[in-house]
Structure 1
Amino acid sequence: MKMLAEMFSMALANKDHHPALRCAVGVFVPLLTLVLLGRLDLAIFASFGAFTGIYGRGEQHGTRFALQLRAGLLMLLVILLASLAARMETAWGLGSAAATWFQVLATTLVAGACSVAIAWLRLRPAGSLFHIFAFAAIASIPGQPPLWQGMLVSVLTTAFCLLIGFSSRVLPSHRTPWTRPPRIRRTPDEKRAAWLEGFGYLVAAGLAGSLATWAGERLGFGHNYWAMVAAVVPLVGHTTRHRVRRGIQRIIGTVLGLVLMAGVVLLELQPWQTVLVMALCQFGAELFIIRQYLVAQVFVTPLALISTLLVVPSSPEILLRDRIIETLIGAAVGIAVVLAPDAWRRPGQRTTAGT
């Protein structure tokens, strides 16, 4: 009963509209520019470059810039690797099935490596969820734009988000000290925790991706990387209860988000209107991501689906179906990975439900 109450509780606001507005502008301006240029095929590169603005949300300007710079460079590396991976599939002449399994393997490696990198750099949000999404989504694009164009859009969007991150310094009332974050000194326990966390991401993403791909080949659904993303959601948290709760919230929030997405589809929006909806969804996601994960997912779901539709037009009905199936698979795998260590312990050694 306590877990159910916690699942639907709302934390107090803490100026969450500030980072939410920064992130919304960081998405809206680059995407609107691409709409005006008639280059929506590059929208996905701008969308992932804009993830830079998510980091360092509550930090002072100098620290925020340093954290966002680290996060932005890591994301640019992931985007580059994804673009190269897509070209490798073409160069090797991989068939559809082989290319899908190659993407699962590569994305799994990215999941583990980026989780360790995020922990090593002490970035928040923790984990490699965004990097899994970025790598798999870009690597799975059937018709890749020229590499230099995709990377240019990503770099310019990243730079724009860095600028937004410290733009409020022009206002004396919002100005904070421009100091660098202290040098990172990692303890042996922190190093061990980072590697263990990376292994957890490797296992969860790999299992979810393999299961989703295997099931998809037989039942006719796709977008296996959505299962990989959902699988790592429960890995973030300090207690088992919190982690399991996040997995359940991911499922419920996705279902509600699909209802919102269905309404967006019925409106038959113009491209510039679609970009505006994406910015509003980004604002809503960042407004609630700390306070109520379930509510945040209501906005994240249409944001992810619209991003996919902009680059690879397809049937909205199929996307809605794939999203819920993949989320169920991924969340179930993630919760199982969280509970597995406790299940292997002897009854007398198991932790309580609140751990």
Structure 2
Amino acid sequence: MRLAAVNPIPGLFTIAPADRGHEVGLRAGVTVLVPLLVLLATHRMDLAVNAVFGAFTAIYGRNLRHGPRLRAQLRGGGLMLAVLAAATLAGRLGVSEQGDPWGLVLWTTVVAGVCAFVTGWWGLRPAGSLFHIFAFGAVASVPVKPPAAEGMLTAVVVVVWALAVGMASRVHPGRRHRIVWPDPVLHDDGARRLILWEEAWYVVAAGVAGVVATLLAAPAGVPHNYWAMVAAVVPLVGHSTRYRVSRGLQRVIGTFRGLVLTAGIILLDPPVIVLVLIIAVLQMAAELYIARQYVIAQTVVTPLALLSTMLVGVTAGGAGSLMAAGGLQHLADRGVETVIGAAVGIVCVLFPWAWRRWVWGSPDPTRAIPVARGPGS
């Protein structure tokens, strides 16, 4: 068996069909834009991080009919609210990248495992716990912490708004169908073992990446260890070793392309209203390409993530500009943490392949990787 069988390079130059991505992108963009405009108008941008993560509800059930989509978004939104509540509590107990980086690694790793299990059990798509890792680390570490009750109320309201946007196409008579609740998914022993196996790898990848980032990057003044944990779980999604390795490389390439784009936005230093519009457009573009070409998607996801976290510093934090909010330093940090995390994730993907190839002597170590599936597939 040649190593070319896990060659990830071809995946860097392929793009999947659109598959109604514009509909998902529009829903996602509107879901995040309206709450941010309301917070801006009411001078409550300290709640922006809670609103942004609550809006992630819109990404679930992307091409499903209204009944399955509603269930997927109820579950996805409910799980995100639980993560935000845990992050809010952790942040107030001192668990953050600034105050307790090791505590943040520990509890973010727990979130990675628990949410990977729940999304696998429910068959949610996007699968895994990438968004939950990001949400927990960001909310726990945000320097400007709003009142806990107000932050959670904001997240709940945005989740409800996302559900409404997800059902909005029903106003068109041709899109209005009876909402049929999907049958419950019954997992056999094999499916349960598979879900637990996936959960275990999320724990390993996130935990190891967090430890490595805290030991190596933090002493060098790169404090965002949870960014490495996010990057580490990216390669764990997919049905083959080649695809998973390719996703890890695409994460790195797309991130550095995205850092160039982010640098341009920071240097332009747009007004806050324009910054909010940019975030909404980036959210739309991310959903257009996330399932088609990960390099392109990550090129817009990188500024989306960075600008969303810097938005609070620019407004409620009193920084006044992206540059004053540490924009360029954030770019360097993101690059370092992404390389650390992606390297750990790729090793976690290649280890089972190498074990099958050289320990078991398997004639087909690159066989398709079974992935827990469900109605959200």
Q: Give the TM-score normalised by the residue count of structure 1.
A: 0.95
**Where do residues 177-188 of structure 1 align in structure 2 (5 Å cutoff)?**
177-188=178-189
Mapped to 2, the partners of 1:207 and 1:54 lie a distance apart of: 28
Aligned position for 2:110: 109
**Where do residues 79-158 of structure 1 align in structure 2 (5 Å cutoff)?**
79-89=84-94, 96=98, 99-158=100-159
Could you tell me which of 18, 28, 43 is aligned with 1:38? Answer: 43
Matched to 1:349, the amino acid is S
Aligned position for 2:76: 71
Aligned position for 1:305: 306
Q: Does the 8 A contact of 2:354 with 2:365 survive in 1?
A: no
The alignment partner of 2:94 has SS state of helix
Matched to 1:158, the amino acid is V
Residue 88 (structure 1) shift = 1.5
Mapped to 1, the partners of 2:287 and 2:36 lie a distance apart of: 18
Count of residues in Structure 1 that have an aligned counterpart in Structure 2:
351
Mapped to 1, the partners of 2:137 and 2:195 lie a distance apart of: 23
Could you tell me which of 10, 13, 17 is aligned with 2:15? Answer: 10
Matched to 2:56, the amino acid is F
Residue 346 (structure 1) shift = 5.6
Mapped to 2, the partners of 1:5 and 1:244 lie a distance apart of: 11
The alignment partner of 1:269 has SS state of coil
Structure 1 residue 333 corresponds to structure 2 residue 356:
no
Mapped to 1, the partners of 2:365 and 2:243 lie a distance apart of: 13
**Where do residues 242-257 of structure 1 align in structure 2 (5 Å cutoff)?**
242-257=243-258
Aligned position for 1:321: 332
Residue 262 (structure 1) shift = 1.0
Matched to 1:32, the amino acid is L
Q: Does the 8 A contact of 1:241 with 1:354 survive in 2?
A: no
Aligned position for 1:280: 281
Matched to 1:39, the amino acid is R
Matched to 2:113, the amino acid is G
Q: Give the TM-score normalised by the residue count of structure 2.
A: 0.90
Q: C-alpha deviations, 1:56-84, integer Å up to 9, x for none?
A: 00100111011100110010000000000
Mapped to 2, the partners of 1:346 and 1:323 lie a distance apart of: 34
Mapped to 1, the partners of 2:201 and 2:363 lie a distance apart of: 19
Could you tell me which of 51, 58, 78 is aligned with 2:56? Answer: 51
Percent of aligned positions that are identical: 49
Q: What RMSD in Å do the two structures reach over aligned CA positions?
A: 1.6
The alignment partner of 1:77 has SS state of helix
Structure 2 unaligned regions, length at least 5:
315-324, 369-377
Structure 1 residue 21 corresponds to structure 2 residue 26:
yes
Q: C-alpha deviations, 1:259-292, integer Å up to 9, x for none?
A: 1111111221111110100000000000001111
Mapped to 1, the partners of 2:98 and 2:290 lie a distance apart of: 36
> Whose helix proportion is higher, 1 or 2?
1
Residue 7 (structure 1) shift = 1.6
Which stretch shows the higher mean deviation, 284-293 or 304-313? 304-313
Aligned position for 1:213: 214
Structure 1 residue 62 corresponds to structure 2 residue 67:
yes
Mapped to 1, the partners of 2:363 and 2:74 lie a distance apart of: 41
